Amino acid sequence: MTASQAACLRAALQVGYHLLDRGSSALVAVEQTIRVLERSGLFNAGTGAHLQLDGVRRMDASIMEGDSLRAGAVASIEGIVHPITAARLVMEETDHVLLVGPMATKFARHFKMERQPFTGKPRRFSYETALRKTAHNRERHGTVGAVALDRAGTIAAGASTGGIDRMLPGRVGDTPIIGCGVYAENETGAVSMTGLGEGIIRLAVAKEICAARLVLQKLVARIQGAAGCLVLTPQGRFTIRHSTSHMMAGYWAGRGIPVVKDTFR
């Protein structure tokens, strides 16, 4: 984790905490915290999202609140700074949960969402070469996420990502899939995931997590996956767990300096 990334994480934590302290909802706190990270360009989300193998930046995001179980998500969206806000708009302005591809982009533009000045330059690629490259893809990920509990006792979870290195065009991971990349339910808790999305999808990890360490151990033992998670209970207890070598994350109780590290054991 670079000094710039650590500083950005601290700033994002402070934004989310101060919103909650002033009575904002968990949903707003999660969205605004993630927006700080998307805008920074320092993480694999928003302006810092990876390019897919055809040279285009396509992003995924989702958000969920635990009272009424409302959720919204976008996948393979292009050209906007804040996919997390597009996901919230899907939740609040439609009867749907997930919009994908060019129609998700058109939806965001309908709401005049801020656009990225550069989203990649399309290029030709060979599937033969691309498939060889993706077969052993275990490089950095960098999905951003947040969980929050507000004064009303409602919890929320969200995540935003540009995927993984060397993605085939059209690849979608766990982030926009409710129950896999994020899940929030007031009686059980809130979870936001990061890691290799294919493994997370196969175990529907976000919804399955009750004892985070045991689920992550199964992810490694059964399907050679790798992941990290933020877990928050309705009582405000939380844990940060990961089976990856590192996971940039942090927390803050409103006093002193926010705790930000790249390993949690």
Quick check: is 252 in a domain?
no
E-strand spans in the chain?
59-65, 71-77, 98-100, 144-149, 155-161, 182-185, 189-195, 227-232, 238-242, 249-251, 259-261
Residue 262 in any domain: the answer is no
Q: Which of 19-33, 72-86, 145-159, 225-239 has the lowest mean pLDDT?
A: 225-239
Closest CA to 194 of 229, 234, 246, 155: 229
- Tell me the pLDDT tens digit for each residue of 109-131: 999 999 998 766 788 877 777 77
Domain membership flag for residue 130: yes
Residue 220 maps to a domain: no
Active-site residue identified among 47, 85, 143, 244: 143
Whether 215 shows a pLDDT value over 70: the answer reads no
| C-beta separation of 97 from 71 below 8 A | yes
- Domain of 35, in residue numbers: 3-187
* Domain tally, the chain: 1
Rounded to an integer, the average pLDDT of 64-72 is 95
Tell me if 197 is assigned to some domain: no
Question: Residue 164: which pLDDT band, with cuts at 50, 70 and 90?
Answer: confident
- Per the domain annotation, does 226 fall within a domain? no
Any domain includes 133: yes
Q: Which of 35-49, 156-170, 186-200, 214-228 has the lowest mean pLDDT?
A: 214-228
Residue 200 has pLDDT above 80, yes or no: yes
Report the C-alpha gap between 52 and 241 in whole angstroms.
28
Q: Does a structural domain hold residue 108?
A: yes
Q: Judge whether 33 counts as a catalytic residue.
A: no
Cα separation, 164 vs 139, whole angstroms: 7
Q: Distances in Å between the alpha carbon of 242 and those of 211, 220, 248?
A: 12, 11, 10
Output 225 or 246, whichever has higher pLDDT. Answer: 246
Mean pLDDT of 42-54: 92
Task: With beta carbons less than 8 A apart as the criterion, state whether 199 and 244 touch.
Answer: no
